């Protein structure tokens, strides 16, 4: 069932934001994340013949990306042991290096919080992917990248009222897409 | 000034307000409209929740210049594999 076609020239525009959000949540470093995505695209290109068309392009790219992330951690793990981390008290009075006494304070962000945020990013880009391409791009520019209305109007050659109609449609679609889990 | 605000106008103001682009007068009109219009109240609530979700600092995008770099790398690879 080879229904899904593959088109590498559109990958960057269509998937880089989604993949980037996925990666940044897992490696926590912009540059590493970008390298990983770039590598993913290149690897995808090389193994394009193996794409059977059973999954969507995005699922397929994500599965490559997952391996790249694992590889990244393997590499950084093999460097382990070269640097030693010592846990010491900051003041001189107390002695010893008890790990238990250095647990994070409970008012800090909890793991649940950050997991939620990770999933939120994925949900947003997932919903964005379902919008028509132009709508998605305009909405993203306006809402996430904070472009001026005028700048966007110029770039897409549309009138402001046209622009607001597009924004309105995008917002309605996004809200109903995310409503179940997030709003 | 027109006193009665239609729903589609109210929605338009609400959309603008999400980007802090509504004027003071528009906000007054929107709020008066929201007093008696339940549907628009619901829309406004959803709209501001969406704004809050999207403005979450963990939601990041790749900048256009970075995308260009990626595109170039991809294109080079494409060309070299074709030739």
Q: What is the pLDDT at residue B38?
A: 92
Distance from CA of A122 to the nearest CA of B (A): 8
Residue B80 resides in a domain:
no
Mean pLDDT score of chain B, rounded to an integer?
82
As given in the structure block, the two tokens for residue A21 are 């959000």
pLDDT along chain A (183 residues), means of 10: 63 81 79 84 81 79 87 78 55 57 57 68 81 86 83 88 90 85 66
What residues of B are in contact with residue A45 (Cβ under 8 Å)?
74, 77-78, 81
* CA pair distance B81, A48, nearest whole angstrom: 11
* CA pair distance B13, B20, nearest whole angstrom: 10
Cβ distance A45 to B78 less than 8 Å, yes or no, reads yes
pLDDT for residue B6 is more than 80: yes
What residues of A are in contact with residue B65 (Cβ under 8 Å)?
none
The residue range of the domain holding B51 is: 1-57
- Number of residues in chain B: 83
Backbone φ and ψ for A169, nearest 5 degrees, come out as -65, -45
Residue with more model confidence, A14 or B16 = B16
Q: What is the pLDDT at residue A2?
A: 46
* CA pair distance A85, A17, nearest whole angstrom: 35
Q: How deeply is B50 buried, as exposed, middle or buried, from its count of CB atoms within 10 A (0-12, 13-18, 19+)? A: buried
What would the DSSP string read from start to end of B10-77?
A: HHHHHHHHHTT---HHHHHHHHHHHHH-HHHHHHHHHHHHHHHHHT-TT-----HHHHHHHHHHHHHH
A146: left (phi over 0), alpha (psi -120 to 50) or beta: left
- Please state the pTM of the whole predicted model: 0.66
**In chain B, pLDDT over 90 holds for what percent of residues?**
35
Residue B43 resides in a domain:
yes
Q: Which of A153, A171, A181 to mutate to test the interface with B (most CBs of B within 10 A)?
A: A171
CA B67 from chain center: how many Å? 22
Residue B44 resides in a domain:
yes
Residue B51 resides in a domain:
yes
Cβ distance B60 to A178 less than 8 Å, yes or no, reads no
Cβ distance B60 to A20 less than 8 Å, yes or no, reads yes
Q: What is the pLDDT at residue A4?
A: 64
Residue with more model confidence, A156 or B80 = A156
pLDDT per residue as tens digits for the range A100-143: 555 555 555 556 666 666 677 778 888 888 888 888 888 888 88
What residues of B are in contact with residue A9 (Cβ under 8 Å)?
74-75, 78
Confidence at B35, pLDDT banded by 50, 70, 90: very high
Give me the domains of chain A, ranges plus CATH numbers.
Answer: 1-80 (1.10.1740), 131-183 (1.10.10)
Those of residues 8-27 in B touching chain A at CB distance below 8 A are 11-12, 15-16, 18-19, 21
Number of domains present in the structure of chain B: 1
């Amino acid at each position: 069932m080879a229904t899904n076609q593959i088109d590498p020239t559109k990958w960057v525009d269509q998937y880089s934001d989604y993949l980037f959000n996925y990666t940044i949540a897992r490696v926590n470093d912009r540059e590493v994340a970008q390298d990983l995505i770039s590598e993913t695209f290149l690897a995808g290109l090389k193994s394009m013949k193996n794409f059977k068309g059973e999954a969507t392009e995005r699922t397929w790219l994500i599965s490559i990306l997952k391996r790249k992330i694992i590889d990244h951690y393997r590499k950084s793990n093999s460097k382990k042991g070269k640097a030693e981390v010592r846990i010491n008290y900051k003041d001189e009075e107390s002695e010893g290096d008890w790990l238990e006494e250095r647990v994070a304070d409970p008012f800090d962000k909890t793991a649940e919080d950050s997991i939620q945020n990770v999933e939120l990013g994925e949900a947003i880009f997932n919903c964005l992917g379902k919008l028509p391409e132009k709508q998605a791009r305009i909405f993203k520019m306006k809402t996430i990248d904070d472009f001026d209305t005028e700048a966007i109007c110029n770039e897409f050659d549309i009138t402001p009222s046209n622009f607001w109609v597009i924004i309105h449609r995008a917002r309605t679609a996004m809200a109903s897409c995310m409503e179940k889990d997030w709003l | 000034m027109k006193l009665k605000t239609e729903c589609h106008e109210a929605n338009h103001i609400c959309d603008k307000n999400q980007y802090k682009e509504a004027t003071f007068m528009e906000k007054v009109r929107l709020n008066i409209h929201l007093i008696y219009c339940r549907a628009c109240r619901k829309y406004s609530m959803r709209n501001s929740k969406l704004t809050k979700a999207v403005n979450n600092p963990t939601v990041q995008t790749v900048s256009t210049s970075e995308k260009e770099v990626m595109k170039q790398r991809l294109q080079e690879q494409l060309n070299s594999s074709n030739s």
